[in-house]
Amino acid sequence: MKVFVFPGQGAQFTGMGQDLYNNNPKVKELFEKANDILGFRITDIMFNGTAEDLKQTKVTQPAIFLHSVALALTAEDFQPDQVAGHSLGEFSALVAAGAMSFEDGLRLVAARAQAMQKACELNPSTMAAVLGATDELVEKVCAEIEGVVVPANYNCPGQLVISGSLEAVQEACVRLKEAGAKRALPLSVGGAFHSPLMEPARIELAAAIERTEIRRPICPVYQNVDAKPHTDPAEIKQNLLIQLTAPVRWTQTVLEMKKDGADEFIELGPGNVLQGLIKKCIPDANTSGRQ
């Protein structure tokens, strides 16, 4: 069974999508439509912007979405048995699988980025990568700390990202290293994504999601919040509504897809992060990518 997976924030690089734009008229048309919808020329930043320019949340998220979706919509062999995306990538997966239109998906991603940026400014907060600890240990340590700190991204066995207030994340890093974690590294991010501190963003985005038409996708979409396959539009919408404050269960998603018959994983979008994570979940997995 063929699975297409879509990356999240962090996969961006200068020059992303430029070859596609130059060599494929359909991609060029899609990218120009995105410039019109967003109200600024995101393609100029994607092709020529600095790493700092690309790191702005309002740029990063639409840019990765645009690059990923363009690859899916113009691939002649895009006939997935399953799809999934990591955080932001879930929106790419839903558009690629026909659950929402490209235009609606891009508007939601742009609204999501703006809402997350505002939430970050409201509450100074951060994330940290914890390496070499079990999920259970990370969950236990987070639960014992008084401030806001929660598991945010279950990326692969032995790699879990925590998210929360500056002080609580710092304390969790110290305690986790004392408890045996190999490393606990603060990440250079704008705020505490996939934690309760994203509640203002969730509320702001919920209205936009409620207005968006969700259709039955062409194949099951494995969603972040429960790592389960979904085709019912009402369930898909409900899971999207809580995605911003819920953890990304990527490890569980990959294992669930494998259990359901996945034997070929193809990453569509900038970078190859998901291929690496999938290999750590399933060492003999058949993985490839397209940029």
Q: How far apart are CA 100 and CA 104, in angstroms?
A: 7
Contact 189, 126 (CB under 8 A): yes
The pLDDT score that the predictor gives to residue 194 is: 97
Average pLDDT of each block of 10 consecutive residues along the chain (291 residues)?
94 93 95 97 96 88 96 92 98 98 97 93 93 98 97 98 97 97 91 95 95 97 98 97 96 98 96 96 96 87
Q: What is the pTM of this model?
A: 0.96
Write down the catalytic residue from 67, 68, 163, 194.
194
The answer to whether residue 86 is catalytic is no
CATH of domain 124-186: 3.30.70.250
Q: Is 265 helix (H, G, I), strand (E, B) or coil?
A: strand
The answer to whether residue 101 is catalytic is no
What's 182's DSSP letter? S
Q: How far apart are CA 225 and CA 106, in angstroms?
A: 21
The pLDDT score that the predictor gives to residue 285 is: 96
Polymer length in residues for the chain = 291
Q: How many CA atoms lie within 13 A of 52 on its CB side?
A: 0
The pLDDT score that the predictor gives to residue 212 is: 96
- Domain chopping of the chain, boundaries: 2-121+196-290, 124-186
Write down the catalytic residue from 67, 86, 87, 92.
87
**Which CATH architecture fits 2-121+196-290?**
3-Layer(aba) Sandwich (3.40)
3-state helix, strand, coil in the chain (%, to 5): 50, 15, 30
